[in-house]
Structure 1
């Protein structure tokens, strides 16, 4: 099946078809390590929203609208392997620290809109980015973000356009309950090592270290501090 074009909005970005095709072909590559993303493409449950620039807030309301709709749809049908990918047209020339800064700017803006719209933070996770139980929350559902861009140092994070993939935290919980999480995680890490020559030192299990360290794909040290600050009421 094809990746789903976003049906969340009445108008389409001029590069929607291009971005969908780029992402579909990228995930279909034999070397692409994430088997969960491959499963989402096969099932037609990877939603793609095409936007303009990751260094601009221009599309943030559209993105947040999409996250709210995506979260609500998941609660109605909590099937595995659903993701919401936001593909930005540009810029494509920045380095890893610059991409990281823009990614967290978008995350902060989207979280602020969640607060403004009166959405509760998912009580199953922490809003503190220093907590080992941290995850983002939009529309009451916890999300883990995977950043992709052309100049990522890890091959698994390299993609032709800056991209933010929002994965549902609940799906990791379901996989653990089914006894499938560790097998899938190991398979992904083995495939990642095959293309990179080493295992990703940033990958940790939820509850060990804050997952915020993994979002941008850049390797960070122990003194790194997440720039995110939740602006809603404390839980």
Structure 2
């Protein structure tokens, strides 16, 4: 695996930061991560290819290690892909899960255990992804997204440590932050995002790609970690 490189000056990284800086961008959590210089960006070739997975994975591990050593609020790791492509929402969703499956398979092969604070079954309401034993919520963005807040000029995957949301809940700040994001998203899109749900109500896997899915949707992800079968958080 290649050591993570510093992509902060890459044009795609700057374009992503500019996207978040837009006045009407709804996610105030991402804005906070950017203002605190806690948004790490890696630029990869294409979301449709495994070409850079061996660069993305060690960078994700490095981010998880830094976060665990200093778990300050509002930290995110973004993978921005250079090739915009002409992907429908269904195609982007498929490639998003291909990339996440590839990264998770590498994590399992290296012997990392699933974060036992969350469930490994993507159908479980307490599901989150896990890398190096740290749970993550993922936000996908791409040019063909129906929600304008997810409509970036090239595909991107943003990894957010799950424990940040739990800390916000414990300190009584989560609902205020969530309400602010919802209000801003409605102002931008003209409607409430039908896929939003609190952790523990519905599986967050339904939210990752940004596509509106029906009750019959099934996540294609298969956890392969040694302890994945027993990770059933209640």
* TM-score, length basis structure 2: 0.94
Residue 231 of structure 1: how far off its partner (Å): 1.2
Is 1:134 aligned with 2:134?
no
- Contact 1:152–1:218 (Cα < 8 Å) also in 2: yes
**Pick aligned residue for 1:155 from 130, 148, 158:** 148
- Equivalent position of 2:81 in the other structure: 88
Task: Using CA pairs under 8 Å that are at least 6 residues apart, name the structure with larger relative contact order, 1 or 2.
Answer: 2
**Pick aligned residue for 1:33 from 14, 26, 34:** 26
3-state SS in 2 of match to 1:86? strand
- Contact 1:16–1:49 (Cα < 8 Å) also in 2: no
RMSD over aligned Cα atoms:
1.3
* CA distance, structure 2, for counterparts of residue 37 and residue 54 of structure 1: 21
Question: 68-77 vs 211-220, which deviates more?
Answer: 68-77
Is 1:185 aligned with 2:178?
yes
* CA distance, structure 1, for counterparts of residue 211 and residue 167 of structure 2: 28
Residue 156 of structure 1: how far off its partner (Å): 0.7
Is 1:204 aligned with 2:197?
yes
**What are the ranges of 5 or more consecutive residues in structure 1 without an aligned counterpart?**
1-7
**Pick aligned residue for 2:42 from 36, 42, 49:** 49
Runs of 4+ in 1 over 3 A off after TM superposition: none
Residue 20 of structure 1: how far off its partner (Å): 1.4
**Pick aligned residue for 1:231 from 202, 207, 224:** 224
Alignment length, in residue pairs? 226
Residue 92 of structure 1: how far off its partner (Å): 2.6
Is 1:118 aligned with 2:118?
no
- Contact 1:19–1:50 (Cα < 8 Å) also in 2: yes
**What are the ranges of 5 or more consecutive residues in structure 2 without an aligned counterpart?**
none
* CA distance, structure 2, for counterparts of residue 153 and residue 117 of structure 1: 37
**Aligned pair in 2 of structure 1 residues 123, 20: CA closer, same or farther (>3 Å)?**
same
